Amino acid sequence: MRRTTTRLADGRELIYFDRREDADRSAADTRELPPRPPASELRHDPVLDEWVAVAGHRQGRTFLPPADQCPLCPSAPGRATEIPSPDYDVAVFENRFPSFGGHAGAHEDPGGLSEARAGAGRCEVVCFTSAHDSSFAALSPDQVELVLAAWADRTAELSRLPGVEQVFCFENRGAEIGITLAHPHGQIYAYPYVTPRTRRMLASAARHRERTGGDLFADVLAAERKAGVRVVAENEHWTAFVPAAARWPFEVHVYPNRRVPDLTALDAGERASFGPLYTGVLRRLDGLFGVAMPYVAAWHQAPVRQGRDLAYLHLQLFSIRRAAEKLKYLAGSESAMGAFVNDVLPEEAARQLRTSGDF
């Protein structure tokens, strides 16, 4: 793998990840871009003990442009994009409209009991392929390995930034999920705090260890592999299963069979075997109803400085589609109370996924 770093016209970092050592990445960004936005503001919710980012500049971000104006495609004569090169394998760059990071700006005390501070951190865009009409499910095993290498590289680099507490790699896919760009891509958030979901998961893992002496995530994986009824796919290094208490109509968790804290710790065999299993799961999702399934794919990694002995790297994948022409909307119970009601029996979801299309 070759890694090449350059800068865009407004100073943002762009990193190419190439399979070929002789890839030419000398093309410069010739655009005239406005100054980078000020940092977002973080406000603390004292009732839920959670931080909320306020980033007003994101109102102006690019929204569902036509394919011939996609900013994630390679640049072409007369059409400069976020990627100056005429082609690329995998490209990662700082988000032009970040939820965290940017130049530090002044912020006012909101008053009351809420504390406010600058939204330090960093947000990056990961372009999985230069092919606009492709998808993660269509990537070759070699291309998935390259994406994994990029994720691991960025996890290591972002974890070293001052103030970063957690690195989150994810993909949103589908207009129903709320994507604003159709090109196959994901994002990376380097948070200046440990997220609420991770704090809750680590607290559960700590209680499980105190009560049983075991590893919560390893024990969940072992139980699912033993039961078998919710396992969707498995190989020597990975297991994909529908969790017994799935919140979403179609939800799959993908675990390495060996506990590692984050993406940087995966070995060569684990990286090589992830792509065939994961893209097969994605194709089965698409095969359920004969449509491209909207989904969120979220890597859960250990925080930078806490709970690393409790965390277990895994991917949580879920779709809001519950039938061919029906979506699951988060209404009163889920949105207001955080109390989920699933419309699909997890065992039935696993059965449908096992028998959906070709793996």
Task: Give the residue ranges of the annotated binding site for Zn(2+).
Answer: 70, 73, 132, 183
Give the number of residues written for the chain. 359
Active site residue 57: no
Q: Are 158 and 144 in contact (CB under 8 A)?
A: no
With beta carbons less than 8 A apart as the criterion, state whether 177 and 320 touch. Answer: yes
CB 190 within 8 A of CB 164: yes
Task: Please identify which of the residues 44, 57, 185, 300 carries the catalytic annotation.
Answer: 185
Rounded-to-integer distance, Cα 137 and Cα 110, Å: 45
Distances (CA, A) of 99 to 4, 64, 120, 139, 199: 25, 19, 9, 28, 20
Please enumerate, by residue number, every residue annotated as part of a binding site.
70, 73, 132, 183
Is the CB of residue 174 less than 8 Å from the CB of residue 155?
no
Report CA torsion sign: 219, 221, 222, 223. positive
DSSP string, 210-263: HHHSS-HHHHHHHHHHHH-TTEEEE-SSEEEE--TT-SSSEEEEEEESS--SSG
- Count of other CB atoms within 10 angstroms of residue 211: 9
Q: What separation in angstroms does the CA of 358 have from each of 257, 279, 282, 288? A: 24, 11, 11, 11
Nearest to 9 by CA among 65, 80, 73: 80
Residues assigned a catalytic role: 185
